[in-house]
Structures are given as structure tokens and as C-alpha cells.
Amino acid sequence: SAGQGPYHAAKGGVRLLTKSLAVELAQLGYGIRVNSVHPGFVGTDMVRDGLRHAVEKGLMPGENEAVEMLTMQTPIGRLGVPRDIANAVLFLASEESAWMTGAELVVDGGFTAQ
């Protein structure tokens, strides 16, 4: 959508930088894994501000309706909560993810899987 270019460019940059650094640091033998977390719509001030802005521009009928629409479009049936993202980060920081590097961990309730 209009005005989202810088956001999308930065997100794309993070994705490619993750992969590049993962390979580089692995080949150099530093033992550092590099992964990135890509959250979906989480009930935070940032998302609420974005929805409010969309309502002000007439792109959505109202903030409550916008939240309802996003909820309906998310296969899991709810917006995320900060703990959902924190748990993903904890997983990546744990030994359970010891063989992961260069991964883009999408945590969005299935939104982008559609």
C-alpha cells in the first residue's frame, strides 16, 4: 500500500542480511547463528497506530472493524500477543534451535501462509 515502501525495503533488507551473515559467520567458524523473526499483526501500540492511521485516511471504516478484519484474515483466528513473539525469540536463543541459521521465522498465525 502507499507509503509502505521504506518499511518493506527495510524488512527485505533484514531478510537478506540474515541469510548473508548466517553463511558468512558460519564459514568463518565463529559459532554464531543468525536468524530473524518476522511477526505478523500483534496487538501493540504500533499496530493500533497503523490501524488508526488507516481509518483516518478512509482506508478502513473504523479501528474495531479493522481489528475484526485482521482477526478474520488470520487462520489462527486472533491477533498475536507480545508473548507469541517473545517465545519465538526464546526458541531461537535456545539449544533447541542449535542447527538453525539463516532462517526467517515467521510468527503470524498463518497470515502469510495463505
**Active-site positions?**
7
Contacts of 94 (CB under 8 A, 6+ apart): none
Bridge-based pairing state of the strands 104-107 and 36-39: parallel
Q: What's the CA gap between 96 and 24, in Å, rounded?
A: 22
In the numeric block, which cell numbers belong to residue 90? Answer: 526464546
- The answer to whether the CB of 102 falls within 8 A of the CB of 68 is no
**Letter for the amino acid at 33?**
R
- The answer to whether the CB of 25 falls within 8 A of the CB of 32 is yes
